[in-house]
Amino acid sequence: MADKTNHDGNLERFMNQLGDSVLALSDGNIRAEVSEAGADPDGEAERTRTVLREALKRLENVNKHLSNFGHTINSNGWHRGRSGYHNACATCGSFVSFIPATGEMRGEALDGRCPRRDECTVRRREASR
């Protein structure tokens, strides 16, 4: 298990370094490298945009699903774990996980309505009077 954890950590660091190196390149350099590899830069750019758009749609679906249950999810609170991304309801603390590639959602936040949502709403109403 320790080897897998170490491997995952090394892979994540490598991916972060790879991303940083791509961000440091100019658009012209990226296009030249893609062309040198025999690929179409415009086609590769569109495929990348499509993958990112689909992941964003899936994340928006998760956030909407949780909102429909009355959970309050901090959109900046998603953090990467071994099995996807994880977050928790700011109101009740129920956990949720999400795998961007598949859109799969798991966690106690999906079991039903936020148990503390109504009491927080009542407090807000009372405070506004």
Asked if residue 120 has pLDDT above 60, the reply is: no
CB atoms under 10 Å from CB of 94, counted, come to 21
Tens digit of each residue's pLDDT (9 = 90 or more) over 24-83:
989 899 899 899 999 999 999 999 899 989 988 998 999 899 999 999 998 888 998 888
Phi, psi angle pair for 7, to nearest 5°: -60, -45
The model carries a pTM of 0.66
Question: pLDDT tens for residues 67-113?
Answer: 999 999 988 889 988 888 999 999 999 999 999 888 899 999 999 99
Domain count, the chain: 1
DSSP 39: -
Structure tokens at 125: 């109403």
Residue 79's domain comprises 2-128
For residue 86, the number of C-alpha atoms closer than 13 Å in the C-beta half-sphere is 9
